[in-house]
Every structure is written in structure tokens, then in C-alpha cells.
Amino acid sequence: MGKLPFVLLSALFLMVFSCSTAGRQFDSEMIKQNIKLGKSNKEDVLRICGEPLTKNSNVKEGTEIWHYAYVDKKMTGTGVLAHVAGVGSEWKSETTVMDVFLKDGIVVDLKLESSSSTKMSFSPQ
């Protein structure tokens, strides 16, 4: 077997297996359409979003904050080639974070943020 088929197989393997996710994916547009401030309750949030990653309480204000997050990290095509060539790698990360603020079991605020970044790292020669 020549070098080229090995390099191509290595690149294909890395593209298929070089990704990771954390948290639970959620549709931010669906959340914006279906969770209404002052009307939606805990059960609505659980039905639409599932269990949060964490819950915090502010006893003084009588509020509860439910935290949701999802991270999807994948090696890019350029990153695969750089990795196979032994010069480094490039990763693209998509992150979505949401905080749901509840008071007396009713949604009073919602913070939703999404970000995308691409980072290249070089291997020492």
C-alpha cells in the first residue's frame, strides 16, 4: 500500500472521529417562540428544553436560575490535513448557552447566547 492511500484513509478516519459534544442541543428559535416571559412555567421549560445542566437559587430575591449549554467541537478539513501532515490542527467550536430565570415557578427572564470560533494550533517542529 502506497503512502497516498494511507494518508487519505487517515484523513477520512480523523474527519469521522474528530468531533465532540457536551451538553444537550436545543433549538434557540423554538425556545424564543414557545417560552413566554410571565406566562411559561417550570413544566413548560422542562417539556421544551429538558433537564438543565445546573440549577441555582437566589433565596434573597426568590428566584431560581436554570443553566443550559451545548458545545459542538469538530476538526475542520484544514485541521485534518494539518494533523495528517504533522504540523498542527484546526478546530471549529459552536457554543449555545441559555439561562432561564424563574420566580414562583414562572419564567421572568431568559438569556440566550450563541458563539462560533475557529482555532488553529501548530505542533512544534
The per-residue pLDDT for 109 is 96
pLDDT digit string, tens, across residues 3-47: 555 544 444 444 444 566 666 777 888 898 999 999 999 999 999
Provide Rg for the chain, Cα atoms. 21
Q: Which three cell numbers stand for residue 38?
A: 410571565
Q: What is the DSSP letter of 87?
A: S
3-state DSSP assignment of residue 3: helix
Tell me the whole-structure pTM to 2 decimals: 0.67
Give the separation between CA 113 and CA 89, rounded to whole angstroms.
Answer: 27
The per-residue pLDDT for 15 is 45
Distances (CA, A) of 52 to 22, 58, 92, 107, 110: 13, 17, 25, 14, 13
pLDDT digit string, tens, across residues 86-117: 666 666 888 899 999 999 999 999 999 988 87
The per-residue pLDDT for 10 is 47
The per-residue pLDDT for 79 is 56
Q: Is 107:41 a contact under the CB 8 Å cutoff?
A: yes
DSSP assignment of 47-83, as one string? HHH-S-SEEEEETTTTEEEEEEEEEEEEE-HHHHHHH
Q: Is 100:45 a contact under the CB 8 Å cutoff?
A: yes
